[in-house]
Chains A and B, each alone.
Chain A
Amino acid sequence: MKSLLNNIKSRFSIKDVTEQRSNLVFIDVARESAVPLITYLRDYEGMTHLVLLTAADWIEENEFQLTYLLNNPEQKFDIGVRVRISREKATMETAHHLWEQVATYQRELKEMFGIDFPGSPGVDKPFILEGWDDLPPYRRDFDTKKYSEDTYFPRPGRESNDPAEYMKKKMYPNEK
């Protein structure tokens, strides 16, 4: 792992390295280095298996974070390549040419976070949400509760009470 890290540090602009466990390291890279780094790791460092591609919404910093989790099946360790992209212009270079299944992950991220991957096959096709017309639901500014309340009618007979209001009614109904 040490020599691997030295190899990539000399070739790519790495922002940060977090050694989570002896068999798991996270590498933060600048956006333009991400796909070249992943390609290098696949082709020269034995990280031949893509475990997953996922995103997180750092809304306070106005960024999304993409994590490409790669695995070296021979030496049995993982590397997570993390990259921050702007939340406003949420696009990222596609990586489907490296592994075919990346296209599926990218399609999911497009639907759930609204992150675009131009050129990724079928990226605009609905993934699991059909006829979705709201904010992408994994964005943190999507109000899940409000959506459920607006979209799904309550079962007939459902009724709730606000604890403070209810206590007033029961304990001091005549006071202001």
Chain B
Amino acid sequence: MSLKDILSPFTAWKHVVKDPVTIKDPFTREAAERYRGFHKNDIETCIGCGTCEDICQNAAIDMVPVDGIETRDGDSGLRPMVDYGRCCWCALCVDVCTTNSLSLSNHYNWIDEDPDQFRYIPGVDKKEWDTNEKGWKKPEGNYELYDINRVKMEEQAPESRDDSFIEIVKGYSKEQALLEADRCVACGICTATCPAHMGIPEYIKAIRNDDLEEGLRILYDTNPLPEICGRICTHKCETVCSIGHKGDPISIRWLKRYIADQHPSDQYKEILGTRDIELNGKTVAIVGSGPSGLSAAYYLALLGYKCTIYEKLPEAGGMMRYGIPEYRLPYDQIDKDVNYILSLGVEIKTNTNIGTDITLEELQEQYDAVFAGTGLHMGRSTRVPGTDHQEVYQAVDLLRDVVLGKEIPVKENIVVIGGGNVAMDITRTLARLQKVKFGKVSIIATSLESEDIMPADREEVVEAREENATIIPGWGPTKIETEGEHLKGLHVVKCTSVFDEEGRFNPKFDEEQIDYFKGEMVVESIGQGMDISYFKGDIKENLKLDNRGRIIVNENFQSSIDWLFVGGDIIQGPDVIHGIANGHKAAIGIDKFLGEG
């Protein structure tokens, strides 16, 4: 042992008289401005997506229900609870938070003898640091853990599409789809809002893994029309996407299309395992080959039922073929989805009208059950003076005639009444026909609704304008001006509000403000009604309707007549994905009813 070793302990004595370098009372000392202390959460902004839980590498976060926070579209009703026995204050949860609701205060000292106190729900369990403005927030600027901008979809430019019906949207390439799929945080908030409750995060994950066969299987679990829905679905899912809170929602619809586009239809049976389906000996008749009928037929066929679809028009698809223009949904894509369903042994009898060619009673005798999904094909009229003029048309009739190849009476100046997707479809269709016939577009679409509440998809309005159609929202029709066999134009009055306080349709007008749109042709597109005149005799008598004349069905879409199931637009209003969803439910219901399920 050296002398130094012996003496050095004594040198420590000199510290006795020095000021300590440690802090006497650390508990009143404030941490640095951006110190990462205990969590805060803006509970109203948080949507319970659980992305914070997912990213936490210490498994310190649980998603828990909170009294008073309701589960609804776009909000799981759960909120993050932090376990400070595990939190390492890395703040990844703050940086990834999809709504920016989560942050850290700079409060770091907290003493309690009960360890369970150190698990709490920030923002719900009140803490003294809830109002502490300092601490860690996600840095401003473009610091994001995922891309908030969607991968741009390539489209035909307006000038290269406005005189033809070629498909506008080009679809994602593999590179684009991978990048877009990478933006998804897989929270699954969207699934509840999708009427068919599709496995959205799951199929997006399949894209990330480049396992597109798995992707196709996931699509077909809940939706047998993916090429169609991948193009024209109303994509309600995207309206609740958590990524949409800070940026563009994920392009869920285009990603679905990407999966379907990658497989030629002759591989479907192999991929989906539907080569050998054993028949169970029972038969179902399906009236109408729209989304609900096709969906019911598909899921019934998988269960072994022999299905026969009866279709009034020459080809399958219903409104998808005869209502949606080709530039949005090319016919070969409809055929791809439909033909695969038919390839499973589903039979279709086209040009067959129920009620005249064969009656519902006859179907009841020949089949074990019947599903009716005949849709809404009768255009409603505004019934303003002049609507009985020969130059006043219904949008759905014209759209159907275009597909049937009939001559369309295109005029040089046209006025369309309506602000929904069908109104945009007919406006854009007629604009194309005007461009071909007259070399220019002169069409006005006017709706009661003001621009911000127009029911049409935003992109429809934007694209219609790109194609030189004029959209003038916020006016109500009062009279169609006619002169003998000529139509002159439409008189309108300013609409100040469409719905009353209770949210009922009850438009108010400012009679002082009037306008006049010139045109030789008026097209009405304010909604469609159903034609159920094929329900006759006993069936009509026994079929229960509610006080607004709608057919009553149970959760399996079974009507008051036990062998008759009804679905699609006549039950849930015009929407493809709703039709698909309730066709699926009806198939399960029929299976139960026939004692197989």
Contact among B49, B56, B86, B584 with A163 in the assembled complex (CB-CB below 8 Å): B49
Q: Would B71 and A170 count as touching, CB distance under 8 A?
A: yes
Q: Would B192 and A171 count as touching, CB distance under 8 A?
A: yes
Q: Would A163 and B116 count as touching, CB distance under 8 A?
A: no
Q: Would B63 and A160 count as touching, CB distance under 8 A?
A: yes
By a CB distance below 8 angstroms, the chain B residues around A174 are 555
Q: Would A161 and B65 count as touching, CB distance under 8 A?
A: yes
Given contacts A155-B85, A167-B192, A174-B555, whether A149 and B59 have CB atoms under 8 Å apart is: yes
Q: Is A140 an interface residue (CB 8 A)?
A: no
* Candidate in A154, A160, A162, A167 with the most chain B CB atoms within 10 angstroms: A167
Q: Is B245 an interface residue (CB 8 A)?
A: no
Q: How far is the CA of A113 from the CA of B76 in the complex (A)?
A: 40
Q: Would B59 and A163 count as touching, CB distance under 8 A?
A: no
Q: Would B57 and A167 count as touching, CB distance under 8 A?
A: no
Q: Is B50 an interface residue (CB 8 A)?
A: yes
Q: Is B574 an interface residue (CB 8 A)?
A: no
Q: Would B189 and A164 count as touching, CB distance under 8 A?
A: yes
Q: Is A131 an interface residue (CB 8 A)?
A: no
Please give the distance in Å from B105's CB to the nearest CB on chain A: 22
Please give the distance in Å from A135's CB to the nearest CB on chain B: 14
Q: Is A172 an interface residue (CB 8 A)?
A: yes
Q: Would A161 and B63 count as touching, CB distance under 8 A?
A: yes
Please give the distance in Å from A114's CB to the nearest CB on chain B: 19
Report, as a range, how many residues of chain A touch the other chain: 20 to 34
Q: Would B83 and A158 count as touching, CB distance under 8 A?
A: yes
Contact among A163, A170, A175, A176 with B189 in the assembled complex (CB-CB below 8 Å): A163
Q: How far is the CA of A49 from the CA of B86 in the complex (A)?
A: 38
By a CB distance below 8 angstroms, the chain A residues around B458 are none
Q: How far is the CA of A152 from the CA of B88 in the complex (A)?
A: 14
Name B191's closest neighbour in chain A (CB-CB): A164
* Candidate in A145, A152, A161, A176 with the most chain B CB atoms within 10 angstroms: A161
Chain B, interface SS category = mixed
Please give the distance in Å from A171's CB to the nearest CB on chain B: 5
Q: Would A148 and B57 count as touching, CB distance under 8 A?
A: yes
Within 8 A of A (CB), among B56-79: 56-59, 61-65, 71-72, 76-78
Q: Is A159 an interface residue (CB 8 A)?
A: yes
By a CB distance below 8 angstroms, the chain A residues around B62 are 158-161
By a CB distance below 8 angstroms, the chain A residues around B78 are 161, 163, 166
Q: Would A167 and B86 count as touching, CB distance under 8 A?
A: no
Q: Would B64 and A160 count as touching, CB distance under 8 A?
A: yes
Q: Would B57 and A176 count as touching, CB distance under 8 A?
A: no
Q: How far is the CA of A114 from the CA of B193 in the complex (A)?
A: 47
By a CB distance below 8 angstroms, the chain B residues around A175 are 197, 585
Q: Would B116 and A157 count as touching, CB distance under 8 A?
A: yes
Contact among A148, A157, A163, A171 with B63 in the assembled complex (CB-CB below 8 Å): A163
* Candidate in B65, B119, B197 with the most chain A CB atoms within 10 angstroms: B197
By a CB distance below 8 angstroms, the chain B residues around A157 are 116
Name B60's closest neighbour in chain A (CB-CB): A148
Interface 1/0 per residue, A107-145 and B, CB below 8 Å:
000000000000000000000000000000000000011
Q: Is B53 an interface residue (CB 8 A)?
A: yes
By a CB distance below 8 angstroms, the chain A residues around B77 are 166-167, 170
Please give the distance in Å from B486's CB to the nearest CB on chain A: 54
Please give the distance in Å from B93's CB to the nearest CB on chain A: 13
Q: Is B588 an interface residue (CB 8 A)?
A: yes
* Candidate in A160, A163, A166 with the most chain B CB atoms within 10 angstroms: A163
Q: Is A168 an interface residue (CB 8 A)?
A: yes
Within 8 A of A (CB), among B156-189: 187-189
Contact among A145, A159, A164, A168 with B64 in the assembled complex (CB-CB below 8 Å): A159
Given contacts A144-B57, A145-B57, whether A155 and B119 have CB atoms under 8 Å apart is: yes
Q: Would A152 and B86 count as touching, CB distance under 8 A?
A: yes
Q: Would B197 and A163 count as touching, CB distance under 8 A?
A: no
Q: Would B188 and A164 count as touching, CB distance under 8 A?
A: yes
Q: Is B201 an interface residue (CB 8 A)?
A: yes
Q: Would A155 and B83 count as touching, CB distance under 8 A?
A: yes
Name A165's closest neighbour in chain B (CB-CB): B188
Q: Would A158 and B119 count as touching, CB distance under 8 A?
A: yes
Q: How far is the CA of A154 from the CA of B86 in the complex (A)?
A: 9
Name A143's closest neighbour in chain B (CB-CB): B57
B interface vs A, CB < 8 Å? Answer: 48-50, 53, 56-59, 61-65, 71-72, 76-78, 83, 85-86, 115-116, 119, 187-189, 191-192, 197, 201, 555, 584-585, 588
| 29 A-B pairs (CB sep. < 8 Å) | A144-B57, A145-B56, A148-B58, A148-B86, A152-B59, A154-B59, A155-B83, A158-B62, A158-B119, A159-B62, A159-B64, A160-B53, A160-B61, A161-B78, A162-B50, A162-B188, A163-B187, A163-B188, A164-B191, A166-B63, A166-B65, A166-B78, A167-B71, A167-B77, A167-B188, A168-B191, A168-B192, A170-B71, A172-B192
A interface vs B, CB < 8 Å? Answer: 144-145, 148-149, 152, 154-155, 157-168, 170-172, 174-176
Question: 11 other contacts beyond A162-B188, A176-B585, with CB at 8 A cut-off?
Answer: A144-B57, A158-B62, A159-B62, A161-B78, A162-B50, A162-B63, A163-B49, A163-B189, A168-B192, A168-B197, A170-B71
